[in-house]
Amino acid sequence: MFTPVQTRRTFEEAVEQIAEKVKLGELAVGDRLPSERALAEQMEISRPTLREAIKVLQDSGLLDVRRGAGGGMFVATEIVPPELVARRRDIRIHEVAQVLEARRLLEPRVAQLAAMRAGPADFDAMQRSIDDQRAVVGEGSILSAGREDRFLALDVRFHLALARSTGNGVLVYLVRTVYRDLEIARDMAMHRETVPDWSIDIHERTLAAVRSGDLDQVEEVMDEHLSQLERTWEQETGTALIRPTPDFLVRRAS
């Protein structure tokens, strides 16, 4: 579930790994983490270093540590303080275009594979993220900072649920990496008043296309889905992106 910590900042990296899993919905409120011994072994760090990280997470309110029989480390909230994952956002701005390009190559194919493999539980997971987004927006389309963070986290959960419905763990890993590195561009897009309502609508239409199993329909809706953030990035930075769609690649090859 967790991976070895390989940087010299072992304490901070351990905090970030756990916080990011909560932010992306891979750990939910009430979930119990592995034991201290097991978690330290998975991360390949010392138990004292892990205890230091757990103390930070406990002080932030993210984890609840219970002693005695039935005790352990439990997720206490799904609201992740931004400072706990701040170091995940150190991708340089000029690299975002590369991530957007990789996303354009990857995610439409992920969605089409999902249309072939997804089942009722997968559809339910995607629908829950949409319903939760709608609850965050409520009656207004302008989000406060806290609600914006929550909305963006739910957006990522939708895309991860879509990736998981392929049954391919490598694709889940790739989609997770892409969305982690896109936070700069996605935060920029959220400053536009119409984005939350549009995001909910495009997620609904993406889910409908995947349910239908119509691969052409999936391709069409995913093109619209990805284009919104790409256009925002171009407008905000003044740089043009290449959109490597299948038709584009065929034309260039010929």
Specify the pLDDT at position 230. Answer: 87
Contact between 2 and 50 under an 8 Å Cβ cutoff? The reply is no
Going 67 to 13 to 105 to 186, the CA torsion angle's sign is positive
Domain 91-253: CATH superfamily is GntR ligand-binding domain-like (1.20.120.530)
pLDDT digits (tens, 9 = 90+) for 113-167: 999 999 999 999 999 999 999 998 885 556 666 677 788 888 989 999 999 999 9
Which value, in Å, is the radius of gyration of the alpha carbons in the chain?
19
The residue ranges of every structural domain in the chain are: 10-86, 91-253
pTM of the model: 0.69
Contact between 189 and 179 under an 8 Å Cβ cutoff? The reply is no
CATH topology of domain 10-86: Arc Repressor Mutant, subunit A (1.10.10)
Q: Residue 181: is its pLDDT beyond 70?
A: yes
Cβ neighbours of 177 (radius 10 Å): 13
